[in-house]
Structure 1
Amino acid sequence: MSLNVEMPEPPELREIDPAEYDDAEVVGDTDYRRDELEGFLRDGAWDQAWDEWAAHTDVDEEEFAIVRDLELIRRFDFFWDAFAERVGYHAPGLPEDWKERDLHPELDSWSTVSSINAGMTELGQIVCDVLKDEYIDWESDYEPPDDLPDFS
C-alpha cells in the first residue's frame, strides 16, 4: 500500500527528558543532541524517511487526515541516546480512552486507532534508522559510572 498525501513539515524537537516517557529506556547522558537531529531532519532525513514510510505504510488517506487534524506529527520526539549509541524516539499516539474523549469525528473504531498508532511507530523507527545510517557520524562521549557492578 502507498500513502499519497502532502508530506508534513518535520517536527520541531523540544527539550523533554526522555525518561518521562513510559516506554523510554535512556540511561546516563542528558545531552540529547536535539538541535543537531532537528537540523538533520530539515536537511533531508525527514524527506527520505517520509518517502520510505509513505511507500509502504498501511495508514490510508482517511486515517492520515486524522493524524493531520490532531497534529500528531509535530508531537514526535527524537533524541540521541549516548549510552546505547542510537537515536531514540517517542511516537505520538491515540490514547486508549479515545472514544470517551471524542478526539475526532472520523475516529470510529479500534482498527483505525490501531492503524494510526502502528503507523506512527513505524514512521518513528524509519526516521531513527535514516538518521543513524545516513546522517550521524559522531562518536558517543558516554562514560559509564565507576560504580557499576561487575558481572563477570
Structure 2
Amino acid sequence: MYTQIFKEIILDIGHGKQAIKEFTSYCRQNNFGSPINIDRFEKEYHAQSAIWWYTYPSFIFSMLNYALRSMESDTIINMGFFIHDLHLQIYQLHQQQFDTDHAKSFTVYRGQGLSKANFQKLQRTNGCLMGEISTRNGGFTALS
C-alpha cells in the first residue's frame, strides 16, 4: 500500500529544470556513475529522452533499479523527475501502439543477468524462504 502511495506521489509531483541539477549533484556527492556520464546527463537530458537514457549503458538503469528494489527513498526521490518522465514516455508509446493495433495486446520484455555462483546459491534455496537478496554484494540469506 505504501509503495502505491509513494508511486502516485512521485508521478504527480511537478519537476522543473532544477530537479536535473539536484539529481546530478546527488550523483556526484554519492559517486554514482562516472563524472563524464553525469555531466552528459546534465547537459543533454530532456523529458522525451527518458527511455533512451534508461536503456543507454550508463549509471541510470542500475541506479534506478537498485533504488526501486531496495526502496532507497533518497535515490527514488532524487530520480522522481526521471521516473515521471519515463512513465509518461512509456504511457505515450503504449497509447500509440494501442491506437494503431486496435486494442491488440503486446508483450514487452526486460531481462536481468545473474552470475552462475548466485544462480547456484538460488538453486540451493529450493524449499526455503529467501530472507534478503542483495545485488550489491551478490549474496542472499536463505531462511528455513
TM-score (norm 2): 0.28
Quick check: which has more Rg, 1 or 2?
Answer: 2
TM-score (norm 1): 0.27
Greater RCO between the two (CA within 8 Å, min separation 6)? 1
More helix by share: 2
